[in-house]
Amino acid sequence: MLSDDAKPIPIYDRALTGVITGIEVNKEVETSYGKAIKTDLHILADKPYIIRSGSESYFSKSLLLALDVITWEQLRHPLTIAVSPGEKTIVFCTIYNPVTYRSVDISWDGHKEIDWQGLGQKVSLKINGIHVNQVSENRDVFIAQTDTYLSQLNWSPEQGREFLLQKYGKKSRQQLSDSELVEFTSFLRSQLSQP
């Protein structure tokens, strides 16, 4: 999660339930130890959250395997992302249906031969592409998400309108097409992750 000044705030809960709104795979970020490659999963729960993990971690790999198995229909509803302990210092990601408490079954068979880069791209296209199709049904969710992002960025309503007018030639988010609303939401999210 990001604070008002875009600094990460750790979440100490073992699970988070919300709608997955995007994923960034193999994202290069600056850490206190230097540059690192991370996977960022964007979730809208009571507010927008980012679950960040190392791209080479078992958590990220199990996340990708689960997201690959999940159907488009399942992605339209809230899911629970949970941390599951492995041996010693290893943790895995388990995704649950919060209504039925059933976890998404994944297989680690042949995981050493998996093209993780290719799987990441496939999942990224699936997750990030799905929202253009969902926006018509969930415009209010996306607009609420942009409200939160605009507030975190300290943008005034005038700044928001000016940006929309310059970028899209439209005065309000309500006038944006579905794909424009997704693009605007992604732009605001990317601004929050800037140092």
Measured CA to CA, the distance from residue 194 to residue 183 in angstroms comes to 17
Measured CA to CA, the distance from residue 27 to residue 108 in angstroms comes to 24
Measured CA to CA, the distance from residue 149 to residue 46 in angstroms comes to 13
pLDDT in tens, 44-84: 888 888 899 999 999 999 999 999 999 878 888 899 999 98
Report the pLDDT value the prediction gives residue 5, as an integer from 0 to 100. 55
Which residues does residue 53 pair with via DSSP β-bridges, in sequence order?
39
Residue found by looking up tokens 């988010």 in the block: 173
What are the CA-CA distances from residue 90 to residues 13, 57, 87, 97, 112 (Å)?
Answer: 17, 8, 6, 23, 16
DSSP-derived letter for residue 8 is B
End-to-end CA distance of the chain: 14
Range from 138-147, 159-168, 184-193 that averages highest in pLDDT: 159-168
What are the CA-CA distances from residue 156 to residues 57, 147, 150 (Å)?
Answer: 39, 11, 8
pLDDT in tens, 8-28: 777 788 899 988 888 888 888
Report the pLDDT value the prediction gives residue 135, as an integer from 0 to 100. 62
pLDDT in tens, 155-180: 998 999 999 999 889 999 989 887 78
> Which residue, among 105, 193, 180, 188, has the nearest Cα to 148 in the 3D structure?
188
Report the pLDDT value the prediction gives residue 195, as an integer from 0 to 100. 56
Report the pLDDT value the prediction gives residue 131, as an integer from 0 to 100. 52
Report the pLDDT value the prediction gives residue 194, as an integer from 0 to 100. 63
